[in-house]
A and B are shown apart, each in its own frame.
Chain A
Amino acid sequence: MLKQKNVLLLWAGLQLGILLLLQQAFSGWIIGVFLLLLLYRVDSVLRNRATLSLKWVNLLAGVVAIALFVNLRQAGVLHFMLQILLLAAVARLLALQHLYEARQLVWVHYFLIGCCFILHQDMAIAMLVFGVFLLNVYSHYRLFAPTGAQLNWPQTGRAVLIILPLWLGMFLLFPRLPAFWQIPDANVAATGLGDSIDPGSIEKLVQDDSLAFRVEFDGPLPPRQQLYWRARLYEEFDGRSWHVAALPRTAARYTAPSAEADNDTATLSYRVIAEASRQTSLYALARPLSTSANVRLNAGDLISAPKPVSQRLSYQVNGIYGPPALLSAQEQQLNLAPGAGNPATKQFAAELLQQYPQPAQLVQALTEHFRSQPFYYSLTPPLLPGANSVDQFLFNSRTGFCSHYASATAVILRAAGIAARVVGGYQGGQWHPQQNYLAVRQREAHAWVEYLDNGVWQQFDPTAAVAPERILNDLDAVLPQAQRDLLNAGWRQLAFLQAARQQLMHLDYYWSVWVLGFNDNSQQQLWRQLKQQLPAIAATIAAILALLLLFAGSYLLKRRVPAGLPPATMLLQRALRPVLLLKTPSQPLSVYLQQLAISQPQHREWLQQLADVYEQAVYADRPQALMQLAALLKHRRQQIKQLRSSIKNA
Chain B
Amino acid sequence: MSDLTLKQRLYQRYLAVIGRYLDKRQPPADRVTLVQKLIFILPTRYGWWFVLLITLLYLLGTNYQNNLILLLCYLLLSLFLLSIVLVYQNMRGLTLQCRTAPAGFASEKLNAVLQLSADKPHLMLNFSFMQQQHSVLMPGLSAELTLPLPAGRRGKYALPRIKISSQYPFGLWRAWSYVALAQDYWLYPRAEKMLQQHDDSPVADSGQQPQTQSGDILAPYRSGDSLRHMVWKRLARDPQNPVVRQQQFSPEAEPCWVVVTPATGEALERRLSHAAWQLLALEQSAQRYGLKLPGLTLPQSCGAAHLQRCLQELALC
Contact = CB atoms under 8 A, between A and B. Distances in A.
- A, B co-complexed: yes
Interface of A: 103, 107, 110-111, 113-115, 117-118, 121, 126, 129-130, 133, 137, 140-141, 143-147, 149, 159, 162-163, 166-167, 170-171, 174, 176-181, 183, 294, 310-311, 515-519
Given A111-B57, A126-B68, A144 B63 contact: no
Contact of A162 (B46, B62, B69, B82): B82
A143 B171 contact: yes
Given A143-B171, A163-B82, A515-B68, 5 more contacts: A103-B49, A110-B76, A121-B66, A171-B74, A179-B65
A296 B77 CA distance: 34
Interface stretch (B19-27, B162-170, B304-312): B162-170
A18 B90 CA distance: 33
19 contacts: A111-B57, A114-B73, A117-B69, A118-B64, A118-B69, A121-B66, A121-B68, A141-B169, A144-B169, A147-B139, A149-B123, A163-B78, A167-B74, A167-B78, A174-B74, A180-B63, A183-B63, A183-B64, A311-B65
Nearest to B86: A159
B124 interface: yes
Nearest to B68: A117
In this complex, the member of A114, A137, A178 whose beta carbon has the largest number of chain B beta carbons within 10 angstroms is: A114
Contacts of B53: 107, 110-111
Contacts of B76: 110
Contacts of B41: none
A129 B76 CA distance: 14
The 5 closest A-B CB pairs, nearest first, are A146-B139, A117-B68, A166-B78, A170-B74, A144-B171
A170 B72 contact: no
A133 B76 CA distance: 10
Nearest to A160: B82
Contacts of B101: none
B60 A114 contact: yes
Contacts of B171: 103, 140, 143-144
A141 B65 contact: no
Contact of B170 (A140, A170, A183): A140
A33 B50 CA distance: 30
Contact of A311 (B46, B66, B72): B66
Contacts of A518: 67
Contact of B75 (A118, A145, A167): A167
Contacts of A179: 62-65
Contacts of A177: 62
Nearest to B60: A114
B72 A133 contact: yes
B67 A515 contact: yes
B68 A171 contact: no
Contacts of B75: 133, 163, 167
Contacts of B66: 117-118, 121, 311
Contacts of A170: 74, 77-78
A516 to B, nearest CB: 5
B79 A137 contact: yes
Contacts of A118: 60, 64, 66, 69
Nearest to A162: B82
Nearest to A517: B67
A312 to B, nearest CB: 9
A311 B68 CA distance: 11
B78 A144 contact: no
Given A159-B86, A515-B67, A518-B67, A145 B74 contact: no
B67 A516 contact: yes
Contacts of B57: 110-111, 114
A107 B56 CA distance: 12
Nearest to B74: A170
A171 B69 CA distance: 11
A117 B63 contact: no
Interface residues of B, number: 40
Nearest to A78: B64
B194 interface: no
Contacts of A129: 68
Contacts of A103: 46, 49, 171
A113 B50 contact: no
Contacts of A162: 82, 85
B63 to A, nearest CB: 5
B59 interface: yes
Contacts of B69: 114, 117-118
B140 interface: yes
Contacts of B46: 103
A166 B81 contact: yes
A110 B72 CA distance: 9
Contacts of B124: 144-146
A515 B49 CA distance: 28
A180 B62 contact: yes
Contacts of A143: 171
A171 B71 contact: yes
A114 B123 contact: no
Contacts of A159: 82, 86
A464 B266 CA distance: 116
A115 B60 CA distance: 8
B59 A180 contact: yes
A129 B77 CA distance: 17
B256 interface: no
B112 interface: no
Contacts of A167: 71, 74-75, 78
Contact of B123 (A146, A178, A183): A146
B70 interface: yes
A110 B76 CA distance: 9
Contacts of A517: 67
A171 B82 contact: no
Scoring B61, B73, B74 by chain A CB atoms within 10 A of each residue's CB, the highest score goes to B74
B168 A145 contact: yes
Interface string B157-181: 0000000000111110000000000
B63 A516 contact: no
Contacts of B77: 170
A229 B220 CA distance: 110
A178 B59 CA distance: 10
B63 A181 contact: yes
A171 B71 CA distance: 6
Contacts of B86: 159
B34 to A, nearest CB: 18
Interface string B111-133: 00000000000011000000000
Contacts of B63: 179-181, 183
A133 B69 CA distance: 12
A137 B169 CA distance: 11
Contacts of B61: 114
A174 B58 CA distance: 11
Contacts of B72: 113-114, 117, 130, 133
Contacts of A166: 78, 81-82
A113 B71 CA distance: 12
B65 A145 contact: no
A539 B63 CA distance: 39
Of the listed residues B56, B75, B168, B170, the one surrounded by the most CB atoms of chain A closer than 10 A to its CB is: B75
Question: By CB atoms of chain A within 10 A, which of B49, B69, B124, B169 has the most?
Answer: B169
Contacts of A115: 60
B65 A163 contact: no
A113 to B, nearest CB: 7
Contacts of A145: 123-124, 168-169
A121 B65 CA distance: 12
A171 B70 contact: yes
Nearest to A514: B67
Contacts of A117: 66, 68-69, 72
